Every structure is written in C-alpha cells, then in structure tokens.
Structure 1
Amino acid sequence: MTNPTIVDSHCHLDFDSLSEELPEVISRALDAGVTRMVTICTRLKNAGQVQAIADEYAPVFWAAGTHPMSVAEEPMATLNQLETLAEHPKFVGIGETGLDYHYTADSMATQQESLRLHIEAARRTKLPLIIHSRDADEDMARILSEEYANGAFTCVMHCFSSSAALAKAALDLDFYLSMSGITAFPKSQELRDIFAAAPLDRILVETDSPYLAPPPHRGKRNEPAFTAHTARKAAETFGLSYEEFAAQTTANFDRLFWKASHG
C-alpha cells in the first residue's frame, strides 16, 4: 500500500548535514509519500547552489531571501535581485524573511527594513512570502497589517510557534500557518490548540530540516521524509484521518505555492 502524498513546504537541503547525501534524503522522502519539497535559501549569496539542487531533482522547488538573523552581516537584498531570481521556473516563494528578536534584537531596525523590502518583492512577483517570526509578535503583526493595507500579498507563517494573537493577525489577512515538528512534541498542546482553532484550508506542514525533528526522531537530524510524522500527529489535532489531512494540506500548498502546483 502506498503512502498518501504530502508536501514538505520548508526545508534546507543545502545545509551540510543534508547536502552530503541528497540522493538518499530525497529517495527516503519519496518513499514516505513526500513527493514535493521546497528548499529555502537563507543568504542570497548561496542562491546558485540552492537553485542547482532544484534543477537536479524533480521533486524539489526553491525560494530565497535574507534570513532575519543574518541581515546584519549580509548586504541588504534588492528588489531587482529578488525579481530576477523569481524568473526561474522552480523559484516559488520570497524568503525566508521576517523578524527574530531572540538572539538578534540588536539588528531590529535592519530586520524591519529587510522584511518590508521582501514584502514588496512578494507583491511584485505574486509569489508567497515566507515568514520567520520569533519573539517579535507585536512588530510582526503590525508590519504585516500595515503592509497589507498598502497592497495585498500572500504569506505563510513558517514553523509557526508564536502566540494566538499573532496567529489571529495572520489568519485575518488570509495568510497560512505552517506546522513543524514542534507541533508533535508532547509539551506543545497550547500550540496545537492554536492550530486546531485555525481554518483547515490555511494549514501547511513542513520539516524545517535539518532542524526540529518530530518524535520519534526528536533530537536527531531532521529530513523531509519526517514530514509524515508531523502530519500524522497534526491529523489528530484536526480530528482527521492522515489521508484527509494530507489531501487538504496538499491542496492548500498548491493554492499558495502556485508555481509548484500540480495543475
């Protein structure tokens, strides 16, 4: 019996621990029913090598942006740079971008400038924005709302693990929330409750591999195949069978990441 197909909407296949054995990693993903994956470039200087992965492997698509934790040491992205990358047929999203005040609050102003620039790129290219948000809920909700009022764009709150208030702010703008391995941890009931209250047609799943492996692999290297573990736990949160949840999140992915859709 074959596994239901599902999508890993966010992984980092260019990071060393995965890139060293990519053929095996992708093969295991396919065996687990993970038929598509989006690998994320977090520093634009690495765009060439991330694009090369997407070019080589049919199931892999890619996105690029400047991660908020590295904006202080990277050149500020330009609209021209991002729009040019977006011309690649397998380039499907802008980011990840966002705000991270946990370790890098000292670059707060630069992070906000970078975020607004990435939002404008998402508007211009009509590609979804991929947001990383940590310990920055109020600024994140404010900037997303301000910018949306200036012109619509689509967005996913990747690896969402923030407050119910930020979830509501994002969902009020018709944005998507993505479930990572964190949502499968035993102590994450509060986070699962936030997801359970969200519309089912706004939910994605991801690994954020090589980080945040779900049980039974917690503490080990994560990889796209493990999307299935996160999704099985997530299906329980929504009171669905795994097959129903896989089908719904795949439809959601196709709607948001239209360049990577089956259609």
Structure 2
Amino acid sequence: MQPDTASSAALPDLVDSHCHLDFPDFDGELDAILARARAAGVTRIVSICTRPRSIAKVRVIAEAHEGVFWAYGLHPMSVTEEAPETLDHLLEVARHPKLVAIGETGLDYHYTPDSAPAQQAQLRLHIEAAQETGLPLVIHARDADADMEAILQEGYRRKPYACVMHCFSSGPRLAEAALEMGFYLSMSGIAAFPKSQDLRKIFAGAPLDRILVETDSPYLAPPPFRGKRNEPAYVAHTAKAGAQVFGLSEAQFRAATTANFDRLFRKAARAAQAA
C-alpha cells in the first residue's frame, strides 16, 4: 500500500519534523522515498543525526536535496559508545546553513539505565548548545520522566530555550511541564496505534499551537503500515489521526502543524522563504 497521493494533492503541505534518512534501511532508495514524500504533500523533512560518525552522511543528504534539513546531537543510548560531545563541537556543527536543531539528546532509562549519569551530563551540555545558538532542542525521553522534567526545568530557569519533545509518549506530568515552558509535543505513529488512548488524551489536552508531527522513520510506522518500515510519506497518516484527536479536518491540522514547525524551526522557515 502506498500513500493516497490523489487526496494529498488537494491538502496543505506537511512536514516530517523527525526522521533518520541516513539509516541503512533507506540505502539505495532515497530518491524514491523522497519522491513518495513529495507526492504525499510532505515538502520538508528534518533528518536527525544521532552520533558524530554519521555527520558527514546526514549533511550530504541535506545538501543534496531541496527541502531536507538536518539536526545533530549525541543520542542518549550512544553516550557510552562515542566520545563525549563538547560545546565547541556542537556550536561548530550548528553553523551549517541547513542544520536547524540541536539533538536528539535526552534520557533513556528503558534500554540504557546504567549510563544515566553520562546521559544527564550530555543532556545539560546540549541544552547549553541550544541556549547559545538559539536553535530548538530535540528531546528523546523514555522511562525517565522525573529526571527529564528536573533537568529541562533547571536549564530553562537559567536561560529560556526552545524545545520539542520528539515522539512524545511519556506521561501527563512531563507533558504539562514541557508545555508550561512553551515546548512542543511531537506526534508520531504511536499516537495512531489502537491502544494509545491515554496518549491521545494527553495530546487532546495540549494547545494545538504546540503540536508537531513526525515519523521517526524507519521506526514506528502508523496504521495501516504498522510493523513495516516507516518512511516520511507516512506522516500523512499520523496527521490524519491527529486531526481526529483535535476534531479538525486534515487540512486544518496540516496547516496548524506546519505553522508550528515554522515557528519553532525558524532557520528552516527562513531557508524555505529564501528558496
């Protein structure tokens, strides 16, 4: 099954705010994948680099494709596999014209609880980079809500910064804390899963102007592709589910989340206006 490009053509543009185009799942197919995304109305994509060894590959993909941007951070699950990031290096990478965010960074106590102290140190460093650059921070949070809330608030009290809680699937308290700081919650395919009623309730209680959509592809494909490789075109299915959560038409929800993206990812918005 492919995206319904006939119906997508009549709808407002859509953004996949978080995916991983450099992952081997897409090797040799990138042109076709991007073509399907465009056919589904996805005109901009942010490809996330999660470790320094991948910077060159992600950067080249962004440079080669109109509408593709990138972000960089050391993923919390990789902090023991890579040299610790430094503020100077993060600031250097951030100077690239298509680098639009810091991260993903964060805390993952589900798969890598033993490295919690290193994850926390790196999270604080990435927060500082976001504060220094003015770029939004992209947060990964899994089974670490209390520490995540405390560290994000600690940094925000020191100096406010912009942030998106990527692939949000945490509890209502972390959602409330993030929204109080003006952060964004990003809706992935998880929000469209049949058993995600509690998560949809959290999204429904959030302001519409703080919602983004993403695929996190190649992971977390929404229905009807669940269990298969995800790709940027499928963000249209998550947006359809999001429209239902907010009681909106697909067109209204697409327009709202794209406007939210432009407000948060200002560097990407400026690049699109200049193109």
Band the TM-score falls in, shorter-chain normalisation = over 0.9
Match of 1:60 among 68, 71, 74: 68
Q: CA RMSD in A?
A: 0.8
Return the alpha-carbon distance in structure 2 between the equivalents of residues 19 and 8 of structure 1.
19
The residue type equivalent to 2:21 in the other structure is L
Return the alpha-carbon distance in structure 2 between the equivalents of residues 146 and 122 of structure 1.
14
Aligned residues: 263
Is 1:186 the equivalent of 2:186?
no
The residue type equivalent to 1:9 in the other structure is S
Match of 2:23 in 1: 15
Is 1:36 the equivalent of 2:36?
no
* Aligned pairs (5 A) from 1:75-86: 75-86=83-94
Deviations 1:94-123 (A, max 9, x none): 000000000100000000000000000000
Match of 1:134 among 142, 154, 158: 142
Runs of 5+ in structure 2 lacking a partner? 1-5
Match of 1:90 among 98, 110, 126: 98
Match of 1:204 in 2: 212
Match of 2:167 in 1: 159
Percent pairwise identity: 63
The residue type equivalent to 1:133 in the other structure is A
Return the alpha-carbon distance in structure 2 between the equivalents of residues 259 and 142 of structure 1.
28
Return the alpha-carbon distance in structure 2 between the equivalents of residues 174 and 69 of structure 1.
26
Aligned-pair distance for 1:240?
A: 0.4
Return the alpha-carbon distance in structure 2 between the equivalents of residues 30 and 197 of structure 1.
31
Aligned-pair distance for 1:19?
A: 3.0
Match of 1:116 in 2: 124
Aligned-pair distance for 1:20?
A: 2.4
Q: TM-score, normalised by structure 2?
A: 0.95
The residue type equivalent to 2:36 in the other structure is R
Aligned-pair distance for 1:4?
A: 2.3
Return the alpha-carbon distance in structure 1 between the equivalents of residues 26 and 185 of structure 2.
25
Return the alpha-carbon distance in structure 2 between the equivalents of residues 222 and 33 of structure 1.
16
Match of 1:250 in 2: 258
Aligned-pair distance for 1:15?
A: 0.2
Is 1:172 the equivalent of 2:177?
no
Deviations 1:112-150 (A, max 9, x none): 000000000000000000000000000000000011001
Helix, strand or coil at the partner of 1:240: coil
Deviations 1:169-209 (A, max 9, x none): 10010000000000000000110000000000000000000
Runs of 5+ in structure 1 lacking a partner? none
Q: TM-score, normalised by structure 1?
A: 0.99
Return the alpha-carbon distance in structure 1 between the equivalents of residues 179 and 12 of structure 2.
27
Return the alpha-carbon distance in structure 2 between the equivalents of residues 250 and 180 of structure 1.
15
The residue type equivalent to 1:16 in the other structure is P
Is 1:213 the equivalent of 2:213?
no
